[in-house]
Structure 1
Amino acid sequence: MKQNNSFLGASASALLAVAAVASPSAHAQSSLTFYGVADDAISYVNNQHGHANLYLRQGNLYASKFGLKGDEMLGGGTHAIFVLESGFDLNEGEAASSGSIFNRQAYVGLSNDRYGTGTLGRQYTPYFLFVGPLSSVGSLTGAAGAHPGDLDGMDTTVRASNAALYVSPQWHGLQAAGMYALGGVAGSIGSGQTMSVALRYAHGPLALAAGYLRMDNALTSTANTEGSTSAAFDSTSTGSFGVSEVNQGYVTARSMRDVAMAGSYTFGPTRVGLMYSNVRYLPGARSLFADTASFNTYGAFARWQVEADVNLAAGVSYTMASKGNGVAHAARYAQLSLKQGYRLSKRTELYALEAWQHASGQTLDSTGQVVNAAPAVGDSQNLTGSSTPTQIVAMLGIDMSF
């Protein structure tokens, strides 16, 4: 990714220049905001493929990123809006995604107080936008709190390109959203398509949400230009998701389908919640597996605002995989996650994260072979799983928003 350093630097300079000269004073009814987060931590892992590791890991409490967003009032309660957002590696000074400067979000659209918001571009799905904040990840962060390998996309790994998104206004606490991402291939408009719908309800201390997500693989034939007989989820697919030792045996799926629901209740300084998700990988002609693979995850969490500047959170989850594809003893993953935060100011926070995960049973590796399931804590150890049934992670870090 080092070839992106000059590109990232030039792009950041350009954004800063634009933000400096474009301000609300340029137009009384317009605003332009430059924003971002810098996050880093000293991290310890007891076992990464057989070895303990002490290293710096960035983007733990919040993803390290910078962005530019604009809002222009058009009258009648209607706004023109846009967002350009890029992730970066704080420790290496590199772009988070090779060849894609605005890898996180890039969209433009219209928003109306009565009729809702419609946007076009690269965006998060309604599945994530509505359910994610109510899952344990919303209180524990993805690095240590995401379900194994962020299997169900409750962290920020799932996005869709070429997407049209509509979010309705709230009606008595109820809100709906729908997205369709077009493959854009002549003669095969649905190639690599992504679809998502979600509902959420919020009234007083109660919040509920449910979502559905479907991502299709753009490559479905039995051969490609390299003559390979199999391929992972193709980069031309509109949807993208995280790959880990938990799901790497199933990324050759012709389609991935997710369903999730979550709810939380707040009383005083305490917030508690429950969630459930089902993730299915459907096989096709190019797949290295023959039977549909299914993962069911159950989770619970609690968050306490101990004082104005101190917060604590804890979560547990249990993930169960299905049998099939030569797997006699289906994989199981149990995880406990903890978080402690102390705010030095409105923009700066010190934090500590701890997580323990135990794996049992069998799964498929990246070649489709049956292997023992390896624990991979949260979204921080995706391809650095433990060589033993247990993995422990601890982080001490700082994040600053701007």
Structure 2
Amino acid sequence: MKSGGTLKKVLITAGAALVAAPAFAQSSVTLYGMVDDALVYVNNQKGHANWYLRQGNLYASKWGLRGAEDIGGGTKVIFDLQNGFDLNTGALSSSTQIFNRQAYVGVQNNTYGTFTAGRQYTPYYQFVGPLASSNWLTGATGAHPGDIDGLDTTIRINNAMVYSTPIWNGLQASAMYALGGIAGRTGAGQTISGALRYSNGPLGVAAGYLKLDNAQTNLPLAPTATAAFDPASTGSFGASALNNGYLTAASVEHASVAGNYTLGDLMLGLNYSNVKYVPNARSIFTNTAVFNTYAALAVYRFTPAFDVAGAFAYTLASKANGINDAAHYQQYSLKEAYHLSKRTTLYALQAYQHASGQTLGIKGAGNIINAAPAVGDSQNSTPSSTNGQFVGMVGMAFTF
């Protein structure tokens, strides 16, 4: 009887403890992604016309895992792991990174904002990018020439810490710092970025800044320096015919402002960006190179299922490094999209770019060449051998 009474007390005590224990925090993990492919025609890729399949045009082909756990008090622990891939070959977008697009963990609070750490996009891109043509049309043919200002998805940062405020009456701010992590050289290879945006009804405006420092860990002095941004740096950027001569910059600075206004089914936008390639003794060019881009866009929704968009971008380089006839690029982009459902879209893209003037080639100082067009972000490694390039695409995109 005594042992039975003891067992009864234990069971009652355990049951009371279970009733009194707090409920487990709610959590969720979501699998998401996009697949996108198109038949492409380019009139001139390094001297030859080409027909080929290209993935990731309207949307980048990718899959990811996104999760959140509510730990109470208006706070959530969040994470996002995102992988890019080539739909036509099945290959990873980066052979050395499974989660090459994003990989971060952090906390989010309704009152105090969000802090995340890992491989991430910059506040500059996150705030200004959604208002630029690379978002409303497509990065493939709608990004500014060669994506010179990084307003498409070409710039991602390692070892990054990002803080974003809550939204206050339509206003939000965000800041990033990425640690270079090189012993004895604090700041080498670091990245900093900050941005502001305001959204209220039909109006959206944003401004952002980004500075990528070159780690330059093992690069020799000019003129034998390797013509590339040191991969030990926390950030990297897209290389194209526009900036090949400036890849050894000690730092690269981006600044941009953009605004959109919606009138019923019509959206109009304007944006401006300024990009600087700043040299030092390890660079193979001498003077700071500057690229200014002025752009406008419009989107019109004829029906809930059908919309069209158009954009114009004008990029002008500075006179420096022995160049008197500075390069300039004019680009015209169009998009037509028919949405079969909320997840499936048929699309057509067309873009033409004209280049004139001169710039530096891959060998840097003294290697002055004629400027070559590279439409949007789709022809960075395949510029035209003439002063004009046309790209046309027909494709399908599916999101899940």
TM over 0.5: yes
The CA distance in 1 between the partners of 2:225 and 2:150, in whole Å, is 28
Match of 2:115 among 118, 128, 132: 118
Correspondence 1:1-400 to 2 at 5 A: 29-219=26-216, 223=220, 228-368=224-364, 369-400=367-398
- TM value normalised by structure 1: 0.91
The CA deviation at 1:351 is 0.3
Inter-partner Cα distance in structure 1 for 2:373 and 2:24: 54
Given that 2:25 and 2:70 are in contact with CA atoms closer than 8 Å, whether structure 1 keeps it comes out as no
Q: Which amino acid aligns with 1:371?
A: I
Decide whether the 8 Å contact of 2:44 with 2:390 is kept in 1: yes
Task: Look up the SS of the partner of 2:69 in the other structure.
Answer: strand
What is the Cα deviation at residue 222 of structure 1? 6.0
Which of 257-266 and 214-223 deviates more?
214-223
2:85 aligned counterpart, secondary structure: strand
Paired with 1:228 and 1:388, the residues of 2 have a C-alpha distance of 30
* Aligned length, in residue pairs: 375
Shift of 1:221: 6.9
Does the 8 Å CA contact 2:214/2:233 hold for their aligned counterparts? yes
In structure 1, what residue type is equivalent to 2:246? Y
- Give, in angstroms, the shift of residue 230 of structure 1: 3.6
TM-score, normalization by structure 2: 0.92
Cα distance in structure 1, aligned partners of 2:54 and 2:379: 11
Aligned to 1:131, the other structure's residue is in SS state: helix
Q: Is the 8 A contact 1:275 1:299 kept in 2?
A: yes
Which ranges in structure 1 are unaligned for 5 or more consecutive residues?
Answer: 1-25
**Equivalent AA in structure 1 for residue 102 of structure 2:** Q
Cα separation, 1, equivalents of 2:386 and 2:144:
19
SS of 1:94 mapped into structure 2: coil
> Does the CA-based 8 Å contact 2:217-2:230 persist in structure 1?
no
The equivalent residue for 2:17 is: none
In the alignment, the residues of structure 1 paired with residue 396 and residue 267 of structure 2 have an alpha-carbon distance, to the nearest angstrom, of 24
- Which letter does structure 1 place at the counterpart of 2:256? A
- Equivalent pair of 1:331/1:360 in contact (CA under 8 Å): yes
The CA deviation at 1:300 is 0.3
Aligned mates of 1:66, 1:284 — CA distance in 2: 40
* Alpha-carbon separation, structure 1, partners of 2:203 and 2:94: 37
Q: Partners in 2 of 1:97 and 1:301 — Cα distance?
A: 32
- Cα 1:138–1:229 shift into 2, 3 Å: closer
Does the residue aligned with 1:219 lie in a helix, a strand or coil? coil
Judge conservation of contact 2:227–2:363 (CA < 8 Å) in 1.
no
Cα deviation for residue 189 of structure 1 reads 2.4
Instruction: Using the aligned pairs only, state the percent identity.
Output: 61
Gaps spanning 5+ residues in structure 2: where? 1-22
Amino acid at match of 1:381: Q
1:9 equivalent in structure 2: none
- The answer (yes or no) to whether the contact 1:231–1:286 under 8 Å persists in 2 is no
- Bigger Rg over Cα: 2
Name the SS of the counterpart of 2:232 in structure 1: coil
> Any runs of at least 4 consecutive aligned residues in structure 1 with deviations exceeding 4 A, and if so which?
none
